Structure 1
Amino acid sequence: MILYKLIIEATGGVFGIRDESLLESAIEAPYQTFDGVELFPTKIEKAARLGFGFISNHPFVDGNKRIGLYVMLSFLQINGIIISFTDDEIEQIAVGIASGAINYVDLKRILEQKIDN
């Protein structure tokens, strides 16, 4: 919530949780298992699920795309994975997820293609 508050303060908008269960779902989804097997075993898959969850679940009153992108890219960076996007690319991704044009598999593929080697 601290990151979310900082993003809203820096970029504008209304601070608040719209749906706490959707927030919990966005946070916990990357760590789901089925029959003891991780559903999102790689760092890229976890990051994509985080970003997709925050944006598509829309748990906050405002700033869902911003926090979703920030959490996704920060998770990757913390895990030593550097991905570079132009401002236009990142905006297209966020809007694409929010509109339903980009799904989780699409986002994972985009991240895999953009890894800096």
Structure 2
Amino acid sequence: MIKFNKENVLLLYKYIIESTGGVFGIRDETLLESAIEAPYQTFDGNELFPSKLEKAAKLGYGLISNHPFVDGNKRIGFYIMLTFLEVNGIYIKFSNEEIQEIAYSIAAGSLSYKELLDILTNKRK
């Protein structure tokens, strides 16, 4: 499994901001690191998010809900989530409307991590 680190995320974040507009900047370094590291957490030697879908959902959800960047949190969160899946051999398609609805719902706190994981699981079928 290909693991994303802070360097990967910042490189893709820069690309998103340059491509779609906005202000590049980190608002909170700790929240950024937390969002990036959360998918790889373990407890008593066991992964808390063992599958690729769980890791992707946790990564995307964390980047959107933690709001670590000055601008583009929803865009980068969704983009990183889908890119993580693709580089790990899972291809899921979303319409622009679905992306907006899901990302805004996460940012507003009305869509949970579990609900996002369910969406990814159902879209993969």
TM-score norm. by structure 2 comes to 0.91
Give yes or no for the alignment of 1:12 onto 2:21. Answer: yes
Report the Cα offset of residue 27 of structure 1: 0.5
Structure-2 residue corresponding to 1:40: 49
Structure-2 residue corresponding to 1:59: 68
Using the aligned pairs only, state the percent identity: 68
Q: 1:70 aligns with which of 73, 79, 97?
A: 79
Report the Cα offset of residue 79 of structure 1: 1.1
RMSD: 0.7
Structure-2 residue corresponding to 1:85: 94
CA distance in 2, matches of 1:90, 1:65: 9
CA distance in 1, matches of 2:117, 2:79: 16
Report the Cα offset of residue 101 of structure 1: 0.8
CA distance in 1, matches of 2:41, 2:89: 22
Report the Cα offset of residue 96 of structure 1: 0.5
Runs of 4+ with >4 A deviation: none
Structure-2 residue corresponding to 1:106: 115
Structure-2 residue corresponding to 1:49: 58
User: What letter matches 2:64 in structure 1?
Assistant: I
Count of aligned pairs: 116
Q: Deviations over 1:1-58 (max 9, x none)?
A: 1211111111111110000000000100000001111000000000000000000000
User: What letter matches 1:106 in structure 2?
Assistant: E
> Which consecutive unaligned segments of at least 5 residues does structure 1 have?
none
User: What letter matches 1:110 in structure 2?
Assistant: I
Structure-1 residue corresponding to 2:37: 28
